[in-house]
Amino acid sequence: SQTIHQWPATLVQPVGSPLSLECTVEGTSNPNLYWYRQAAGRGLQLLFYSVGIGQISSEVPQNLSASRPQDRQFILSSKKLLLSDSGFYLCAWSGRRVTGELFFGEGSRLTVL
């Protein structure tokens, strides 16, 4: 069966520090991968998605970047965090078909102080 795992689960970082959140998927190949952010009391905002290794589409220009160094690995990064980067980050995957349900990871809660 397929599983998705992201880490760390909780992170407290000072403003200006770097960030790296990692997500891996097991049990499937060539998944579409996604990073969403959920700010407190807000909906899910699509940040990045990827349909293949090295292929990243950015939805919201901001302080973050994403990379996909391997087929089932998706990394969210920042060189210098801002207070506004605080939130709940969710990684998700879907099958290679254009449509299908999204499967979400457990989420990473980031607090920038």
Site of interaction with another protein (CB under 8 A): 32, 34, 36, 42-44, 46, 49, 51, 59, 88, 90, 92, 94, 98-107, 109
Question: What is the distance between the terminal CA atoms of the chain, rounded to a whole angstrom?
Answer: 38
**Nearest-angstrom CA–CA distance, 22 and 44:** 18
Q: Which is nearer to another protein, 14 or 98 (CB)?
A: 98
Q: Least distance to another protein from the beta carbon of 79, Å?
A: 26
Q: Which two tokens stand for residue 68?
A: 């996909």
Q: Least distance to another protein from the beta carbon of 59, Å?
A: 7
**Nearest-angstrom CA–CA distance, 9 and 58:** 23
